[in-house]
A and B are shown apart, each in its own frame.
Chain A
């Protein structure tokens, strides 16, 4: 008789390794097996030719459509127009200005996103206040010895970024005022703010853009004419500020009531209470919401093509009409889609990460 503990038997061969994983995750039951086969068949029959078309059969180098002979995607088309996709009709000699503005923007965003970089507050303040001025001087010129570049030459990804960044930066202060007004105890202030917010949130952006381009010139005295870009920016900012106000209100409401009462008990005035106690806590909670509205705005900037501005999608549309390159519209749509997707996907991942990181704290958030 043996009294030692027998060594445990290894798990059955079909429960571990690749086979075990397949059985557990793909074929655990008749319904799942059928679903796996159907989805798998669909994916293979769709993805394989697509990948082949995009990468393997594609043509990458050349100067004209004659280079596209292999039957795959014609990336030569995109490569030839890459400058237009990025800068629109911005004069080629001045592209460095756009590049510098872009590098400053990306640099400071990376600074803010990375954990443990010092002086985030100062960088954020500079980005919100000083950067728009610097970027405007760089892009528009007409000062500091830079030649002027009219806004109708702006286009492509540059214009998309200008619209999105201006939209978000300009709507932030307006949104804060509206959110505070909506929570105010003064009935007239509150109803003015509620009306403003609900009107803009209730209508599609496209009608706002129509309004900005058709009605806005009528609102101002004769001789006061606006740039088309400026009109679009006014429309986008008003529209966006309503959404921003709701995000900020969400942040304000997430602050426990005790914080408001404690500030009152200390004898702080309204603005002291808001600036010193409530806003610093609420702003942290609002960042994911602000990033999400930024994603929505970033996608919505493509609508400006309807009022005749050349954002990156409009450049793609115009390129498709080029008689020299007829028939390659799929390529240009895919390229523009990829640009948007990279921006939006990375922002949404960042916002999800932030939500998780902020959720560990206490307070009355679930």
Chain B
């Protein structure tokens, strides 16, 4: 049995004066360097051959089926409608536009889901560690039920068993000027009137002012040790300033109330049931995973830290804010980002209930109409791949940053 570690390629150690003993030239397959080179060349040529065969076969197949290749189709007219679009889209728009509409809808559901899942997940994660027996058990029950049932099943349940069984538009459930029926959730649309720009300006000015105050307060505390209630001022400014401006300028905001015309509603903003079902299912499912992440993060902060903070005379709220949460976040954020990524990828299940996301619109309808599977699927995959690579870059950056503060 020949060994890899043998005398072969390595230069013998020892003083330079001493003449190296004559090294017998090993057989080239026993030389790790040459062997690995050979192996890699072999791998490359096999891969090259595989890719060549695939591309060759594909081109032949496409030619036989009369499918054109290339990205020209993106500028052609799509000719189909999309149930929900955040930008102007008509049937006369191009296939390229369907890509953008789908992408925006995917981003919309991902952002909505991430916000809801984070709030619900943090509440449940903290609740599971509560010393209230009922609250802790309730949270555990929730987590164990929802994370062990496939997401697709949950989406179907909310869509087919709950939302689609709601009454027709004519028998809508009505409250506060909003309507709920099997076509979705319809609520009055706010219409900014003249003078509303002032409120917007005030809002951004308040944010800028709070930021400056926070900087000033931090500097002052470092110099003099005096503290300033930054959080309260910020809340007061950001809510107060726009509110005061809004009231003083005579409440320049109208409401466009939805009205029942014929069989459907006109006016207002309609949230389609597909979006609601997908949002509920994604948030509820992901919240169960986030709760477990949060729980692990809080448990990872050793009890000595809390005790030390108490010994220093810190209040309970301050201990939580300054000692426990910053240390827990360091453990929580990397898995949390990967949960966000999972949620975004899972939002592609939208296609099963017909929410017009990227997969449904682009990899579905556009693919069927153009037949250009290679281009369409590659573009779709590239979007998700780019998202996931960006997330992992962020995570590496974040990990490197927080590592500095470690003892």
* Chain A residues within 8 Å of B, Cβ to Cβ: 25-26, 28, 32, 35-36, 39-40, 43, 185-189, 192, 198-199, 201-204, 206-207, 210-211, 214-215, 217-222, 264, 267-270, 295, 299-300, 302-303, 305-306, 313, 317, 320, 329-330, 333, 336-337, 340-341, 344-345, 348
Query: How many residues of B are counted as interface, with CB atoms below 8 angstroms from the partner's CB atoms?
Result: 57
A267 touches B133 (CB 8 A): no
User: Within the complex, which residue of A192, A218, A302 is in contact with B153, where a contact is CB–CB below 8 Å?
Assistant: A302
- Chain B residues near A211 (CB, 8 Å)? 377, 381
- Chain A residues near B5 (CB, 8 Å)? 264, 267
Q: Name the distance in Å between B216's Cβ and chain A's nearest Cβ.
A: 35
- Chain A residues near B138 (CB, 8 Å)? 39, 43
- Chain A residues near B47 (CB, 8 Å)? 192
Q: Which B residues, 350 to 407, have Cβ-Cβ distances below 8 Å to chain A?
A: 351-352, 359, 363, 367, 373-374, 377, 380-381, 384-385, 387-389, 392
B148 touches A345 (CB 8 A): yes
Q: Which B residues, 241 to 288, have Cβ-Cβ distances below 8 Å to chain A?
A: none
B348 touches A204 (CB 8 A): yes
User: Within the complex, which residue of A40, A198, A215, A340 is in contact with B149, where a contact is CB–CB below 8 Å?
Assistant: A340
Please report the C-alpha to C-alpha distance between residue A198 and residue B387 in the assembled complex, in whole angstroms.
Answer: 12
Known: A204-B359, A220-B57. A302 touches B150 (CB 8 A): yes
Q: Which 5 interchain pairs have the tightest Cβ spacing? A: A202-B388, A25-B133, A344-B148, A204-B345, A299-B150
Please report the C-alpha to C-alpha distance between residue A344 and residue B130 in the assembled complex, in whole angstroms.
Answer: 26
Q: Which B residues, 1 to 26, have Cβ-Cβ distances below 8 Å to chain A?
A: 1-5
A218 touches B373 (CB 8 A): yes
B161 touches A329 (CB 8 A): yes
A26 touches B134 (CB 8 A): yes
Greatest chain B CB density within 10 A among A28, A202, A336 is at A202
Nearest CB in chain B to that of A33: its residue: B132
B377 touches A210 (CB 8 A): yes
Q: Is the CB of B112 closer than 8 A to any CB of chain A?
A: no
Contact with A along B326-361 (1 / 0, CB 8 A): 000000000000000000011011011000000100
Q: Is the CB of B201 closer than 8 A to any CB of chain A?
A: no
Greatest chain A CB density within 10 A among B40, B138, B153, B389 is at B153
- Chain A residues near B60 (CB, 8 Å)? 221-222
User: Within the complex, which residue of A185, A222, A299, A330 is in contact with B36, where a contact is CB–CB below 8 Å?
Assistant: A185
A269 touches B1 (CB 8 A): yes
A345 touches B144 (CB 8 A): yes
B385 touches A199 (CB 8 A): yes
Q: Is the CB of B168 closer than 8 A to any CB of chain A?
A: no
Offer 27 A-B interface pairs, CB within 8 angstroms, sorted by A. A25-B131, A25-B132, A32-B130, A35-B130, A40-B134, A188-B40, A189-B40, A199-B381, A202-B384, A203-B345, A204-B359, A206-B349, A207-B377, A222-B61, A267-B3, A269-B2, A295-B148, A299-B149, A299-B151, A303-B152, A305-B352, A313-B152, A313-B153, A333-B153, A336-B153, A345-B144, A348-B148
User: Within the complex, which residue of B39, B54, B145, B346 is in contact with A189, where a contact is CB–CB below 8 Å?
Assistant: B39
- Chain A residues near B160 (CB, 8 Å)? 320, 329, 333
Nearest CB in chain B to that of A328: its residue: B161
A203 touches B62 (CB 8 A): no
Please report the C-alpha to C-alpha distance between residue A215 and residue B150 in the assembled complex, in whole angstroms.
Answer: 26
Known: A206-B349, A269-B4, A340-B153. A215 touches B374 (CB 8 A): yes
A219 touches B377 (CB 8 A): no
Nearest CB in chain A to that of B47: its residue: A192
Q: Is the CB of B43 closer than 8 A to any CB of chain A?
A: yes
- Chain B residues near A210 (CB, 8 Å)? 359, 363, 367, 377, 380
Please report the C-alpha to C-alpha distance between residue A129 and residue B381 in the assembled complex, in whole angstroms.
Answer: 33
Q: Is the CB of B135 closer than 8 A to any CB of chain A?
A: yes
User: Within the complex, which residue of B130, B131, B352, B384 is in contact with A203, where a contact is CB–CB below 8 Å?
Assistant: B384
- Chain B residues near A201 (CB, 8 Å)? 388
B346 touches A204 (CB 8 A): yes
Please report the C-alpha to C-alpha distance between residue A193 and residue B76 in the assembled complex, in whole angstroms.
Answer: 38
Please report the C-alpha to C-alpha distance between residue A198 and residue B386 in the assembled complex, in whole angstroms.
Answer: 11
Please report the C-alpha to C-alpha distance between residue A55 and residue B356 in the assembled complex, in whole angstroms.
Answer: 38
Q: Is the CB of B310 closer than 8 A to any CB of chain A?
A: no
Nearest CB in chain A to that of B382: its residue: A203
- Chain A residues near B149 (CB, 8 Å)? 299, 337, 340-341, 344
Q: Is the CB of B296 closer than 8 A to any CB of chain A?
A: no
- Chain A residues near B36 (CB, 8 Å)? 185-186
Greatest chain A CB density within 10 A among B2, B135, B346, B389 is at B135
B57 touches A219 (CB 8 A): yes
Please report the C-alpha to C-alpha distance between residue A105 and residue B151 in the assembled complex, in whole angstroms.
Answer: 26
Please report the C-alpha to C-alpha distance between residue A187 and residue B40 in the assembled complex, in whole angstroms.
Answer: 8
- Chain B residues near A186 (CB, 8 Å)? 36, 39-40
User: Within the complex, which residue of B3, B130, B352, B359 is in contact with A207, where a contact is CB–CB below 8 Å?
Assistant: B359
Nearest CB in chain B to that of A32: its residue: B132
Please report the C-alpha to C-alpha distance between residue A1 and residue B131 in the assembled complex, in whole angstroms.
Answer: 46
- Chain A residues near B226 (CB, 8 Å)? none
A-B contact sample (6 more), CB < 8 A, given A32-B130, A221-B57: A43-B138, A204-B359, A214-B373, A320-B160, A329-B161, A341-B145
Known: A204-B359, A207-B380. A36 touches B44 (CB 8 A): no
- Chain A residues near B44 (CB, 8 Å)? 188
- Chain A residues near B148 (CB, 8 Å)? 295, 299, 340-341, 344-345, 348
Known: A215-B373, A218-B374, A222-B60. A333 touches B156 (CB 8 A): yes
Q: Name the distance in Å between B310's Cβ and chain A's nearest Cβ.
A: 18
- Chain B residues near A217 (CB, 8 Å)? 61
- Chain B residues near A219 (CB, 8 Å)? 54, 57-58
Please report the C-alpha to C-alpha distance between residue A28 and residue B346 in the assembled complex, in whole angstroms.
Answer: 41
- Chain B residues near A295 (CB, 8 Å)? 148
User: Within the complex, which residue of A202, A207, A317 is in contact with B363, where a contact is CB–CB below 8 Å?
Assistant: A207
User: Within the complex, which residue of A39, A214, A268, A306 is in contact with B352, where a contact is CB–CB below 8 Å?
Assistant: A306
A204 touches B384 (CB 8 A): yes
